[in-house]
């Protein structure tokens, strides 16, 4: 399916990544690994097809009717993103939004590791600060990566406000973006996120980013998995475009 129209309405998509590294078949979430060479080839392939890398804010909230645009997001803030994706992005003049689990800075993927997954290191405070200083947006992925809809109101508040404050203390700047762990959210969670001071949140629902028909707290994304070599990534983007058209306005 052709997803590269030369004219017509703009397309903006938000790509979701987790771990950058060779797929680990012993992992419970093996599909979350995207090999460094594949990641670099995806950037080249998107650029060759006329896609422009932009920030999450631009992709989701700023209309540009002449361009196909993509924003990059990384959930969980793995060290492997700092080691492999960060240099590749910096070399291409691109940035991304990194969603940090605030109680696990310099720690590990406790939420998956505790459930039997491989242990994977998460970025240190210094690494997060360095990326922020180089134009990367840092967002919250809550304090401990829970299913937010299962929490009571006070726990929910703690996860949303506590993580925001911790990251703001670390970086000295306002944190406005949120990623729901597991994409798990409902209207109560959205309302709590708004009350906590966030201005936008990303989901794991497949679709295009703009116009944000679900509103600023339900920005769809495209989950990029280990198998997403060029044609498959394009096919997934095409599916997102199709899904975007089916969403009610």
Distance, in Å, from the CA atom of 216 to the CA atom of 193, rounded to the nearest integer, reads 11
Distance, in Å, from the CA atom of 144 to the CA atom of 131, rounded to the nearest integer, reads 22
117 contacts Zn ion (rule: CB under 5 A): no
Whether 198 contacts 160, CB under 8 Å: yes
Number of residues that bind Zn ion (CB under 5 A): 3
Q: CB 145 → Zn ion: shortest distance, Å?
A: 6
Which residues lie across from 122 on neighbouring strands? 78
- Rank residues 21 and 181 by Cβ distance to Zn ion and give the closer one: 181
Q: CB 18 → Zn ion: shortest distance, Å?
A: 7
Structure tokens at 219: 């920005």
Distance, in Å, from the CA atom of 143 to the CA atom of 161, rounded to the nearest integer, reads 9
Distance, in Å, from the CA atom of 157 to the CA atom of 151, rounded to the nearest integer, reads 9
| Residue 212: φ, ψ to 5° | -80, 80
Stretch that binds Zn ion, among 8-16, 82-90, 147-155, 181-189 (CB under 5 A): 181-189
Q: CB 6 → Zn ion: shortest distance, Å?
A: 37
Distance, in Å, from the CA atom of 20 to the CA atom of 41, rounded to the nearest integer, reads 13
Which residue in the shown chain puts its C-beta closest to Zn ion?
75
- Rank residues 181 and 207 by Cβ distance to Zn ion and give the closer one: 181
76 contacts Zn ion (rule: CB under 5 A): yes
Stretch that binds Zn ion, among 130-138, 162-170, 178-186, 216-224 (CB under 5 A): 178-186
Q: CB 211 → Zn ion: shortest distance, Å?
A: 26
Q: Which residues contact 106 (CB under 8 A, 6 or more apart)?
A: 122, 123, 124, 125
Stretch that binds Zn ion, among 67-75, 146-154, 164-172, 214-222 (CB under 5 A): 67-75
- Rank residues 75 and 218 by Cβ distance to Zn ion and give the closer one: 75
Stretch that binds Zn ion, among 120-128, 151-159, 177-185, 238-246 (CB under 5 A): 177-185
Single residue of 20, 75, 80, 117 touching Zn ion by CB under 5 A: 75
Q: Which residues contact 89 (CB under 8 A, 6 or more apart)?
A: 43, 72, 95, 96
Binding site for Zn ion (CB under 5 A): 75-76, 181
């Amino acid at each position: 399916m052709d997803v590269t129209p030369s004219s017509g309405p703009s397309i903006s998509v938000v790509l979701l990544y987790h771990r950058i590294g060779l797929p680990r078949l012993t992992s419970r979430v093996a599909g979350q690994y995207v090999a460094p060479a594949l990641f670099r080839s995806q950037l080249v392939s998107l650029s060759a097809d006329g896609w422009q890398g932009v920030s999450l804010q631009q992709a989701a909230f700023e209309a540009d009717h002449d361009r196909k645009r993509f924003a990059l997001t990384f959930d969980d803030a793995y060290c492997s993103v700092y080691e492999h994706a960060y240099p590749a992005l910096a070399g291409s003049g691109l940035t991304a939004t990194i969603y940090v689990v605030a109680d696990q800075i310099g720690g590990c993927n406790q939420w998956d590791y505790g459930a039997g997954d491989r242990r994977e290191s998460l970025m240190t405070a210094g690494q997060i600060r360095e990326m922020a200083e180089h134009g990367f947006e840092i967002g919250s992925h809550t304090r401990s990566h829970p299913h937010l809809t299962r929490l009571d109101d006070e726990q929910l508040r703690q996860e949303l406000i506590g993580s925001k404050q911790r990251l703001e203390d670390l970086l000295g700047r306002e944190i406005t973006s949120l990623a729901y762990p597991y994409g798990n959210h409902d209207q109560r969670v959205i309302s709590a996120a708004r009350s906590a001071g966030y201005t936008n949140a990303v989901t794991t629902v497949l679709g295009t980013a703009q116009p944000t028909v679900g509103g600023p707290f339900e920005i769809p994304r495209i989950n990029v998995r280990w198998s997403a070599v060029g044609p498959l990534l394009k096919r997934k983007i095409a599916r997102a475009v199709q899904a975007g058209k089916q969403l009610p306005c």
